[in-house]
A = this chain, B = another copy of it.
């Protein structure tokens, strides 16, 4: 049985690990989108080759959460909220990390660098999705509920941009102006950006839960 003081230390370490995983994922997305925008093949290759760092961090945080649940008893509601929200958020972080790799793989396949210029809204979409993800991680670690609300609202803009991008790509395909495969790949990149926005919203929901025990007006704890 862990002492209360040790337990508080371990909770603080859990928070720190989540922050580190957030930074790593953020960094991977930054690189992946930079590779896309600048058609930087070396950078894309670096991401694709990747390493198991994100997966390892996910498993290590999950193990830490479960160990805290098992060994510190009785647990109080506030601590349980912290541990269970961490257990949920690592899944979203890991998925965002996967999307960094997915995007980098597609960057390596695109043959016509000019396509980015012809899909007017994709850079804005990338920049907004990236900001949502960074803000979501910051909202969680800083327990900033106003920022979490902001991220949730920002998702509509990313969804709207996804529809714009789909329209632009449909037009390119109709006009035969770009290679079909490139169009399909850019569409998939847009889909991953839209999903990154969704994961950011999930992180914000668990941020709200961590603070209040409530998710979207439903009390969970």
Contacts and interface: CB of A to CB of B under 8 A. Distances in A.
Contact of A91 (B88, B180, B187): B88
A111 B70 CA distance: 55
Given A69-B80, A73-B75, A59 B218 contact: yes
Interface string A144-171: 0000000000000000000000100110
B220 A59 contact: yes
B170 A181 contact: yes
Contacts of A181: 170
The dominant DSSP class at the A interface is: helix
A62 interface: yes
A218 B62 CA distance: 11
Contact of A80 (B70, B77, B187): B70
A173 B199 CA distance: 31
Interface in A60-85: 62-63, 65-67, 69-70, 73-75, 77, 80, 84
B75 A221 contact: no
Contacts of A180: 170, 173-174
A101 B63 CA distance: 34
A34 interface: no
- Range for the number of chain A residues in contact with chain B: 20 to 34
A41 interface: no
Contacts of A91: 88, 91
A63 B169 contact: no
Contact of A220 (B63, B75, B169, B183): B63
Contacts of A138: none
Contacts of A166: 184
A59 B191 CA distance: 26
21 contacts: A59-B218, A63-B218, A63-B219, A63-B220, A63-B221, A66-B84, A66-B220, A69-B80, A70-B75, A70-B77, A70-B80, A70-B221, A73-B75, A84-B87, A88-B88, A88-B91, A166-B184, A170-B180, A173-B183, A173-B184, A187-B187
The 4 A-B residue pairs with the shortest CB-CB distance, nearest first, are: A73-B73, A66-B221, A63-B220, A73-B74
